[in-house]
Amino acid sequence: MKPRLKIFLAIQYIGFIALGIYLYQQQGHILLLDEVLFFTLALLITNNITAFLNTGSEITVSISLPILIPVIILLEPFWVGLVALIGTVNVIDIRNFNWYKFIFNRSNLFIAASCGTLVFRLANIYVDSAYFVLPIFLGSLVYFLINNGMVYLVVKISSAGKQGSSLLIYYIELIKNFIFSYFLGLAFYYSYIYFGKVFFVLAIVLIYVLKDFIFSRIQQLNSFTQIVESFLKVIDSKDHYTEGHCERVANYTRILCRELGMRKGKTERIVNMAKIHDIGKIYVDDSILKSSALLTPAEYNEMKKHSYYGYELLKDIDILKKDLDIILFHHEKYDGTGYPNGIEGENIPLGSRVLSVCDAFDVMTQGRSYKPAMNKLEIINEFRACSGSNFDPVITRVMLSLINRGEFDDVIKEEDISDEFNNIKIRSALKLNISRMEG
């Protein structure tokens, strides 16, 4: 242990002992023993329940401050500090017991909780009872600042010479947790006052149920993302010529969905399907995928099956199957001449109609071995010509608006000035010849 850290810890331990003796002498008499025992037990259980219920997970959840807020309001500073000291012990840490860390954490929480209570009681004297929540806020804030500030200082002293975030940035990163804890603590206090201990316990149980639900939802979303990214790699490895195509289409899809005013959840579902919309190509023969010539009718019919292959490949994955129609029908045309089913208009899923526009846009901007990339004017003319036939006219109009205002200028080929100049000269020469003939 570094000398500076030893000095800091020694000062903190002495401060803890001095504060504890002072508070006990001033306010050590106890009138609410059952509350002390109840809140200590409640805090002890909540600080350890996550570790016991999620033994295979590194994620733990603590709601110490929300439970301490009712304690700060109801008990004297010494007893609040004692509840915090005992109730926040993590049983799982005993397996890797370190005596000076243990004493630091216990004394730190005692100081933070008792000082927070002193500030609450002092503020409560001078603040009108109608603004009762303000003293609670100040007391909770002092607890938050002391508890996290002491931890920051220990870490800073321990890692002397290493760069780290400033104390201000450290607090800013944690402030959201404090605000949530404050309001949750108020809810716990009023539930305890008006409904008693049973309802208080039920409220804590509800928080943990919600936590488990949210955690399982996050895990599900992470699994979904991993599946999508894995398939994206498979697609790129299969067809190197179009490598990056699906990711680009997904980026365009997100922009277009946002412009169409879609909700974030729906947008993300369509974007995720866009990322893997060509997954069915893994079943298409390499000679067809990598052909530099126009496909024969037989080869084209085989290529058209890729949307169906993709649907069949993914339909048994529960987390994906509700959106797979987007992949199945992304080559349908608005006038009903597309594939695989020849459906038309708004019978085509909205996600498929959006994807169709973005898929075509990427082909226009990137080109193919048999078809060069288009410039901005050519792309605009192509979309205008195909609006209502290949593409949904409403979605096409929004896409054209994005193109015209320069949203995609970084991926669109610049117009060749020399070609445009030559075209102007040719048109001028034709007009001159026509005028001569007319003359």
Domain assignments of the chain as residue spans, ordered by start? 3-220, 239-415
Residues 220/319, Cβ–Cβ less than 8 Å: yes
Q: Provide the b/e sequence for 103-140 (b: ≥16 CB within 10 Å).
A: ebbbbbbbbbbbbbbbbbbebbeeeeeeeeeebbbbbb
Largest CA distance in the chain: 117
The one-letter amino acid code at 241 reads Y
Beta bridge partners of 391: 387
Axis-axis angle for helices 393-404, 376-386 (nearest 10): 170
**pLDDT bracket for residue 32 (50, 70, 90):** confident
Mean pLDDT across the stretch 113-139?
87
Please check whether the domain covering 239-415 is classified as CATH 1.25.10.10.
Answer: no
* CA–CA gap between residue 351 and residue 358 (Å, rounded): 11
* CA–CA gap between residue 93 and residue 97 (Å, rounded): 6
User: Of 355, 327, 335, whose CA–CA distance to 262 is shortest?
Assistant: 355
Backbone φ and ψ of 370, nearest 5°: -100, 5
Could you tell me if residue 222 is left (phi over 0), alpha (psi between -120 and 50 degrees) or otherwise beta? alpha
User: For tokens 């009872």, what's the residue?
Assistant: 129
How does pLDDT run across 157-207, given as a tens digit for each residue?
Answer: 877 655 556 778 878 878 888 888 899 889 889 888 888 888 888 887 777
How does pLDDT run across 238-289, given as a tens digit for each residue?
Answer: 665 556 888 899 999 999 999 999 998 899 889 989 988 888 888 888 777 7
Question: How many alpha carbons fall within 13 Å on the CB side of residue 425?
Answer: 6
Residue 430: what pLDDT? Answer: 38
Mean pLDDT across the stretch 404-410?
91
Residue 429: what pLDDT? Answer: 42
Tell me the pLDDT of the chain averaged across its residues. Answer: 81
